[in-house]
């Protein structure tokens, strides 16, 4: 089955610096790669996602890059702010031709701390 | 639009008992996914229901089971509870042919 590895497990940055979190996956059939943010005591929330026909996607300070050949994808957060502090999870899934999604397989998470 | 809801918020059970957790999807959502979030282990996929049928299950023993009702709500049942079943149980839902999963707030299950 699919296996997702996420690094680093913890990341501490100064406010204004950039943060990068990387994930690798094993199943080349996987074609959907979302990132979730989970603040303490709250539910995971989707912050950005990418499908395998795209190499990069950006949304304001957040970007995701995908290398299908190497089977890895990364989350980039620029100009970090204290409110970015949370646990970030990468995930992998397979979308069928109708766009319906199978279950997500998650990485173990990265605890990001942004120091003011 | 109301979000995904789960009940109860907290559940305390004794080893060997059974637990039932419930999930109500966003209106128009037809698929329900269950995940276990144990401390330090991230989110692990449990079960996926779509149109009333079980589509896939994760690497969990058969004492984890569930069902989906005609109104698309879902129930997760855990039989013969063990101490290591203590975790946050999250459900997520998607609309028909959708791919973004929306999570509920979770049920914190504690087994003593």
Residue A107 has pLDDT above 60, yes or no: yes
CA pair distance B81, B64, nearest whole angstrom: 10
Task: Compute the average pLDDT of residues A112-116.
Answer: 96
Average pLDDT value over all residues in chain B: 94
Reference A31, options A2, A60, A7, A61; nearest CA is A2
Q: What is the pLDDT of residues A19-73, one digit of tens each?
A: 999 999 999 888 899 999 999 989 999 999 998 888 999 999 999 999 999 999 9
Q: Pick from B55, B97, B101: which is nearest to A99 by CB?
A: B97
Reduce the DSSP state of residue B50 to 3 states and report it: strand
- Across the interface, whether the CB atoms of B99 and A95 are under 8 A apart is answered yes
Cβ contact (<8 Å) for B97 and A93? no
Q: Which of B84, B86, B102 is nearest to B94 (CA)?
A: B102
- Residue B4 Cα, gap to closest chain A Cα (Å): 10
Give pLDDT, residue B31.
93
For residues B14 and A96, the model is more confident at B14
Span of A27-31, A78-82, B81-85 with lowest mean pLDDT: A27-31
- The pLDDT confidence band at residue A98, using thresholds 50, 70 and 90, is low
Instruction: pLDDT band for B3, please (50, 70, 90 cuts).
Output: very high
Q: Which of B59, B22, B16, B66 is nearest to B41 (CA)?
A: B59
CB B4 within 8 A of CB B26: yes
Q: Which helix (H) or strand (E) holds B29?
A: strand B29-37
- Mean pLDDT for A98-115 is 86
Chain A environment of B56 (Cβ under 8 Å):
102-103
pLDDT at res. A94: 81
């Amino acid at each position: 089955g699919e296996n997702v590895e996420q690094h680093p497990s913890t990341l501490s940055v100064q406010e204004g610096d950039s943060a990068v979190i990387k994930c690798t996956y094993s199943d080349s059939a996987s074609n959907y790669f979302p990132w979730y943010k989970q603040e303490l005591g709250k539910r995971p929330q989707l912050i950005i996602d990418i499908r395998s026909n795209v190499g990069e996607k950006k949304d304001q300070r957040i970007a995701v890059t995908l290398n299908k050949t190497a089977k890895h994808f990364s989350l980039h957060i620029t100009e970090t702010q204290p409110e970015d502090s949370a646990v970030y999870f990468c995930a992998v899934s397979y979308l069928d031709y109708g766009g319906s999604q199978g279950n997500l397989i998650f990485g173990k998470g990265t605890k990001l701390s942004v120091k003011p | 639009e109301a979000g995904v809801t789960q009940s109860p918020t907290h559940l305390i059970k004794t080893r060997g008992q059974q637990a039932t957790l419930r999930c109500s999807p966003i209106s128009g959502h037809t698929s329900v996914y269950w995940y276990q979030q144990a401390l330090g282990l991230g989110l692990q996929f449990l079960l996926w229901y779509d149109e009333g049928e079980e589509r896939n299950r994760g690497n969990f023993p058969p004492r984890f089971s569930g069902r989906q009702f005609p109104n698309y709500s879902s129930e997760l049942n855990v039989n013969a509870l063990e101490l290591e079943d203590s975790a946050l149980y999250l459900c997520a839902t998607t609309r028909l042919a959708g791919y973004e999963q929306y999570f509920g707030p979770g049920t914190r299950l504690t087994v003593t």
